[in-house]
């Protein structure tokens, strides 16, 4: 874990859960696994607050606990996972993907689950139905069954999964369902901290449980409730909610979480498809899309390539709307195999030719294109030429670089040294004699893709952290103005509700002067720009992370 990651994690935690959680979270990230007493001692935060913070982190899966390393009976230790915290950055993308795939219902299901870490199906369905009803026209409402079928769909496609059951923590199981879906639940960590039951030190993956994607039988009939705006309505609703929550629906104790891995596989497939569309054409990308969809269930997430598919199978699975005749499909497949990017490979001749999608090679190609793009934008196209040249030819002397790239010696030297100083290019010395005399040494320039990708990944983390800092700063600078505009909006809303005269309304509106309005508008633009930039950088992060992870797994 690097300083950049910790900094970014801290900022993300502060934004989503506040400063106390940030402090506990970054402390855990910096110092590794620790027990409750050490955390309190080293952070200087009160026991109650630390417990609550840990609870929040555990609720969101950002922190795991295990029995102490000093043998049975030693205090439980907590460990934060930076990977999970960094996922917060990608929340908008998960939600957007759910929206495009499953519509508004899917969007809100995922949004609720992401906001609460994990929850039972029944409570999720209820909340979602309520929220959807809220946005509907007067007199209409959302049926629970509709939402739960959308939920089941998401489970079937593995976008949602059950939380792994906590081994040997019977006491917690008994206590948590009583208060589901409340993130700041202080009872959980207390139970965890005192629980002396030794849990296995290796955290089991959710996939290792057979029921991971099994939807439980749930008895939940009814429709979404509309939230009433009046004060007494609020109380009434709360009372109702409490009453509803106490009802049983037959799925207590089964908690669901978002399966990030599945989303990442989806993102990866999308990236490959769009790369094919850019490089070749739309039709080729549709063929690759079909191939990827066919192998979604049969291919393991870490496989280097998909299971072989015969041309016949692909032909049958192509949506008829594409209208691709069989001979043309064969031509397209041959072209895809011939392409130097090798997104698609040929695995055999049977069944009209067996084809695979080279997932890891595609990721490596995409990562390489990302590196090239960074060099191109930052140092110009001539430097990018040198960079690509080195990627292609591995090791080259300075003179060779000048000759191949057709760049004058002086400029080429300048570019090479700049790239070298930024660690994008490495220098390898090969002495002819053991004394390393410069006149008798070969100096070979080279590019190492994997370390360079890792370095750029760190740069991305720093960039996102910078963007967040800047956003916080911008908001802080205009705090007074923002508060004022909020106050005025509230006044306007209440006046409108009470049916005030139009003159009165304009009078209140004019309390914000024209320059102030301009300033607010500018601020809004700035925040939007920073937000979208964060998401864009996250796309780069995703590509580089997937590439780095793909090189780590041994070829299966």
Partner 1 sequence: MKMAEVKVKKETNLSDPAEVENRIKELCQQFPHGITDQVIQNDLPHLEPQQRAMAINKLLSLGQLDLLRNSSGLLYRLKDTQSASKMKGSDNQEKLVYQIIEDAGNKGIWSRDIRFKSNLPLTEINKILKNLESKKLIKAVKSVAASKKKVYMLYNLQPDRSVTGGAWYSDQDFESEFVEVLNQQCFKFLQSKAEAARDSKQSPMVQRNSSFATSHEVWKYICELGISKVDLSMDDIETILNTLIYDGKVEMTVIAAKEGTVGSVDGQMKLYRGVNPIIQPTGLVKTPCGLCPVFDDCHEGGEISPSNCIYMTEWLDF
Least Å distance between CB 273 and partner 1? 11
Residues whose CB falls within 8 Å of the CB of residue 226, separated by 6 or more in sequence, listed in order: 130, 133, 134, 141
Please report whether residue 454 would count as binding partner 1 according to CB under 8 A.
no
Task: Give 139 or 340: the residue with its C-beta nearer to partner 1.
Answer: 340
Please report whether residue 529 would count as binding partner 1 according to CB under 8 A.
yes
Whether the CB-CB separation of 311 and 353 falls below 8 Å is answered with: yes
Q: Which of 93, 346, 361, 470 binds partner 1 (CB under 8 A)?
A: 470
Distances (CA, A) of 146 to 247, 249, 535: 20, 16, 31
Distances (CA, A) of 17 to 54, 366, 471: 11, 34, 17
Please report whether residue 89 would count as binding partner 1 according to CB under 8 A.
no
Please report whether residue 270 would count as binding partner 1 according to CB under 8 A.
no
How many Cα atoms occupy the beta-carbon half-sphere of 35 within 13 Å?
A: 13
Least Å distance between CB 271 and partner 1? 8
Q: Which of 373, 494, 504, 518 binds partner 1 (CB under 8 A)?
A: 373
| Residues 409-428, interacting with partner 1 (CB under 8 A) | 409, 411
| Residues 319-348, interacting with partner 1 (CB under 8 A) | 327-328, 331-332, 334-335, 340-341
Q: Which of 170, 222, 348, 408 binds partner 1 (CB under 8 A)?
A: 408
Please report whether residue 279 would count as binding partner 1 according to CB under 8 A.
yes
| Residues 375-404, interacting with partner 1 (CB under 8 A) | 376-378, 381, 384-386, 388-389, 392, 404
Q: How many CB atoms sit inside 10 A of residue 328's CB?
A: 11
Q: Which of 38, 283, 426, 549 binds partner 1 (CB under 8 A)?
A: 283
Task: Give 190 or 384: the residue with its C-beta nearer to partner 1.
Answer: 384
Q: Which of 26, 34, 59, 365 binds partner 1 (CB under 8 A)?
A: 365
Least Å distance between CB 555 and partner 1? 23
Residue 103: closest CA among 141, 146, 140, 139: 146
Least Å distance between CB 405 and partner 1? 6
Task: Give 225 or 382: the residue with its C-beta nearer to partner 1.
Answer: 382
How far apart (Å, rounded) are the C-alpha atoms in residues 383 and 391? 12
Strand arrangement, sheet containing 309-310: 309-310, 354-357, 344-348
Whether the CB-CB separation of 326 and 308 falls below 8 Å is answered with: no
Of 81-89, 91-99, 299-307, 407-415, which segment contacts partner 1 by CB under 8 A?
Answer: 407-415
Whether the CB-CB separation of 142 and 224 falls below 8 Å is answered with: yes
Please report whether residue 539 would count as binding partner 1 according to CB under 8 A.
yes
Please report whether residue 460 would count as binding partner 1 according to CB under 8 A.
yes
Judged by DSSP in three states, 396 sits in strand
Q: How many CB atoms sit inside 10 A of residue 210's CB?
A: 7
Least Å distance between CB 472 and partner 1? 9
Of 87-95, 108-116, 424-432, 453-461, which segment contacts partner 1 by CB under 8 A?
Answer: 453-461
How far does the chain reach from its first CA to its final CA, in angstroms?
27
Q: Which of 535, 548, 549, 551 binds partner 1 (CB under 8 A)?
A: 535
Of 16-24, 352-360, 501-509, 526-534, which segment contacts partner 1 by CB under 8 A?
Answer: 526-534
How far apart (Å, rounded) are the C-alpha atoms in residues 323 and 314? 13
Please report whether residue 82 would count as binding partner 1 according to CB under 8 A.
no
How far apart (Å, rounded) are the C-alpha atoms in residues 429 and 445? 9
Of 77-85, 165-173, 294-302, 454-462, which segment contacts partner 1 by CB under 8 A?
Answer: 454-462
Residues counted in the chain = 556
423: phi then psi, degrees, rounded to nearest 5: 65, 20
Please report whether residue 350 would count as binding partner 1 according to CB under 8 A.
no
Task: Give 113 or 464: the residue with its C-beta nearer to partner 1.
Answer: 464
| DSSP letter string, 314-365 | HHHHS-GGG---HHHHHHHHHHHHHSTT-SEEEEESGGG-EEEE-HHHHHHH
Write b or e for each residue in 338-374: b if 16 or more Cβ atoms lie within 10 A of its Cβ, otherwise e: eeebebbbbeeeeebbbbbbbbbbbbbbbbbbbbbeb
Least Å distance between CB 474 and partner 1? 8
Please report which residue ranges of 394-478 form alpha helices under DSSP H: 398-405, 409-421, 449-477
Task: Give 36 or 468: the residue with its C-beta nearer to partner 1.
Answer: 468
Task: Give 485 or 540: the residue with its C-beta nearer to partner 1.
Answer: 540
Chain residues that interact with partner 1, rule: CB under 8 A: 274-275, 278-279, 281, 283-284, 327-328, 331-332, 334-335, 340-341, 365-366, 369-370, 372-374, 376-378, 381, 384-386, 388-389, 392, 404-409, 411, 456, 459-460, 462-463, 465-467, 469-470, 473-474, 522, 525-526, 529-530, 533, 535-540, 543
């Amino acid at each position: 874990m690097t300083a950049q990651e910790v900094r970014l994690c801290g900022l993300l935690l502060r934004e989503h859960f506040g400063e106390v959680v940030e402090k506990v979270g970054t402390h855990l990230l910096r110092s590794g696994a620790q027990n409750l007493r050490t955390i309190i001692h080293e952070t200087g935060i009160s026991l109650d607050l630390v417990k609550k913070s840990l609870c929040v982190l555990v609720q969101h899966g950002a922190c795991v606990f295990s029995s102490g390393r000093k043998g049975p009976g030693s205090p439980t230790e907590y460990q934060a996972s930076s990977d999970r915290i960094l996922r917060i950055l990608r929340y908008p993308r998960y939600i957007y993907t759910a929206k495009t795939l499953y519509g508004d219902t899917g969007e809100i299901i995922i949004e609720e689950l992401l906001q609460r870490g994990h929850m039972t199906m029944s409570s999720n369905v209820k909340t979602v139905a309520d929220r959807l009803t809220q946005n509907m026209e007067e007199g209409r409402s959302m049926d629970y069954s509709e939402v739960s079928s959308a939920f089941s769909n998401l489970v079937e496609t593995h976008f949602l999964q059950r939380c792994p059951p906590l081994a040997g923590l019977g006491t917690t199981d008994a206590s948590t369902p009583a208060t589901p879906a409340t993130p700041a639940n202080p009872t959980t960590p207390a139970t965890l901290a005192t629980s002396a039951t030794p849990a296995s030190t290796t955290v089991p993956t959710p996939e290792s449980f057979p029921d991971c994607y099994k939807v439980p039988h749930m008895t939940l009939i009814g429709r979404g409730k509309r939230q009433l705006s009046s004060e007494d309505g609020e109380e009434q609703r709360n009372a109702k909610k409490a009453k509803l929550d106490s009802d049983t629906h037959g799925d207590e104790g089964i908690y669901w979480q978002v399966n990030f891995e599945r989303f990442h596989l989806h993102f990866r497939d999308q990236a490959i498809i769009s790369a094919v569309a850019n490089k070749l054409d739309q039709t080729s990308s549709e063929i690759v899309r079909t191939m990827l969809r066919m192998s979604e269930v049969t291919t393991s997430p870490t496989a280097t390539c998909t299971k072989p598919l015969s041309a016949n199978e692909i032909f049958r699975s192509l949506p008829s709307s594409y209208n691709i005749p069989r001979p043309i499909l064969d031509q397209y497949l041959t072209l895809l195999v011939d392409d130097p990017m090798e997104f698609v490979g040929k695995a055999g001749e049977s069944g009209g030719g067996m084809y695979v999608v080279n997932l890891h090679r595609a990721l490596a190609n995409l990562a390489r294109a990302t590196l090239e793009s960074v060099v191109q934008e930052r140092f110009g196209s001539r430097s990018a030429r040198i960079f690509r040249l080195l990627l292609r030819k591995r090791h080259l002397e300075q003179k060779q670089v000048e000759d191949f790239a057709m760049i004058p010696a002086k400029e080429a030297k300048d570019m090479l040294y700049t790239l070298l100083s930024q660690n994008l290019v490495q220098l390898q010395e090969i002495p002819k004699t053991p004394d390393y005399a410069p006149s008798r040494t070969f100096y070979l320039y080279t590019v190492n893709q994997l370390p360079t990708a890792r370095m750029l990944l760190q740069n991305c983390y720093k960039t996102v952290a910078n963007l967040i800092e800047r956003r916080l700063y911008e908001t802080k600078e205009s705090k007074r103005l923002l508060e004022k505009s909020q106050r005025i909006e509230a006044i306007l809303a209440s006046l409108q509700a009470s049916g005030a005269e139009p003159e009165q309304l304009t009078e209140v509106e004019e309390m914000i002067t024209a320059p102030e309005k301009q300033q607010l508008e500018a601020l809004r633009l700035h925040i939007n720009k920073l937000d979208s930039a964060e998401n864009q950088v996250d796309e780069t992060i995703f590509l580089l992370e997937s590439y780095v992870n793909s090189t780590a797994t041994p070829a299966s």
